[in-house]
């Protein structure tokens, strides 16, 4: 029994010693070195210097050397030397009054068209050419914008012809009388008016007493009747308004064109 109590006492002492050793090993002792007065002063001065540097504006320019502070003496360039530099290609400026010499590889024609006046003249000629083409095209349609209004075909002739109704007149009789008298101009006119009446009756053209013949030509533009009717109208214009001698051959030529056009009506 005595041995038992000794063994228990030894175990208790062993456990208490191990716990104390563990507590001592887990504890970390931090020792701060005392700060001297000089170190505190240095720290305060560095902080004040940093604050003053932040508030002071920074100068990024290079410092001016003492020799650069000397007064500047102005010098003038002689006029002859200045003119020589202006004429030199090495000192060529965009606002120089004199034009640069023409390159050797460029032809005289190209240099001529590079000038502003020639460009305006070129486009003016193009515009005049277009206007001339338009004028001759209108003339081909018997429309002259610079001439007085040409009277219609049935505006000419005697007073009886002017009063006659366009749709009831006997043009075959007029043609026969004109051919018998050798008046081929009147025969061509009567045959042309007869053709206009037939085309108006078929609604191929829109006839009006005051309309010139060029209007009927323009109404047929884009149709199969345009080319033959254009030739017939041109023959009539030359014969009736041209004041030239008209032969029987001219009448027969127009008669053939009229017969060819009438075959297309069917």
Q: Where are the domains of the chain?
A: 108-140, 153-262
pLDDT (tens digit, 9 = 90+) per residue, 204-258?
998 888 788 889 999 999 999 999 999 999 999 988 888 778 899 999 999 999 9
pLDDT tens sequence across 36-50: 545 555 554 555 555
**Choice between 140 and 219, residue whose per-residue pLDDT is larger:** 219
Hey, what are 229's tokens?
């009717």
Can you say whether the dihedral through the CA atoms of 42, 48, 52, 58 is positive or negative? positive
Cα separation, 148 vs 81, whole angstroms: 71
- Backbone dihedral angles phi then psi of residue 208, each to the nearest 5 degrees: -140, 140
Report residue 25's pLDDT band, with 50, 70 and 90 as the boundaries: very low
pLDDT at 30 over 50: no
What would the two tokens of residue 218 be? Answer: 């323009």
Q: What is the rounded average pLDDT for all residues in the chain?
A: 73
Integer Cα distance of 252 and 184 in angstroms: 10
CB 100 within 8 A of CB 87: no
CA–chain centroid gap for 184, Å, is: 56
Read off the pLDDT of residues 170-207 as tens digits, 9 standing for 90 and up: 889 999 999 999 999 999 999 999 999 999 889 999 88
Read off the pTM: 0.43
The more confident residue out of 201 and 21 is: 201
Rounded Cα distance between 215 and 153, Å, is: 12
DSSP-derived letter for residue 133 is H
User: Rounded to 5 degrees, what are φ and ψ at 212?
Assistant: -75, 165
- Name the token pair of 255: 């008669």
């Amino acid at each position: 029994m005595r041995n038992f109590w000794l063994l228990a006492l030894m175990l208790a002492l062993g456990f208490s010693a191990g716990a104390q050793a563990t507590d001592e090993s887990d504890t970390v002792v931090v020792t701060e070195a005392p700060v001297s007065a000089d170190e505190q002063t240095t720290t305060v001065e560095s902080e004040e210097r940093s604050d003053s540097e932040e508030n002071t504006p920074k100068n990024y320019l290079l410092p001016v050397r003492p020799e650069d502070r000397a007064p500047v003496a102005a010098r003038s360039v002689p006029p002859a030397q200045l003119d020589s530099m202006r004429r030199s290609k090495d000192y060529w400026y965009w606002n120089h009054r004199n034009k640069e010499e023409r390159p050797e590889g460029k032809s005289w024609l190209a240099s001529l068209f590079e000038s502003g006046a020639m460009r305006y003249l070129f486009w003016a000629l193009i515009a005049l050419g277009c206007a001339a083409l338009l004028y001759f095209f209108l003339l081909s349609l018997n429309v002259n914008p610079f001439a007085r209004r040409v009277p219609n075909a049935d505006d000419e002739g005697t007073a009886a012809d002017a009063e006659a109704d366009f749709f009831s007149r006997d043009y075959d009789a007029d043609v026969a009388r004109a051919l018998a008298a050798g008046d081929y101009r009147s025969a061509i006119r009567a045959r042309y008016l007869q053709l206009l009446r037939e085309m108006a009756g078929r609604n191929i053209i829109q006839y009006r007493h005051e309309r010139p013949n060029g209007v009927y030509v323009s109404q047929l533009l884009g149709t199969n009747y345009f080319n033959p009717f254009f030739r017939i109208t041109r023959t009539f214009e030359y014969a009736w308004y041209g004041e030239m001698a008209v032969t029987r051959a001219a009448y027969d030529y127009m008669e053939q064109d009229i017969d060819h056009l009438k075959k297309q009506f069917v």
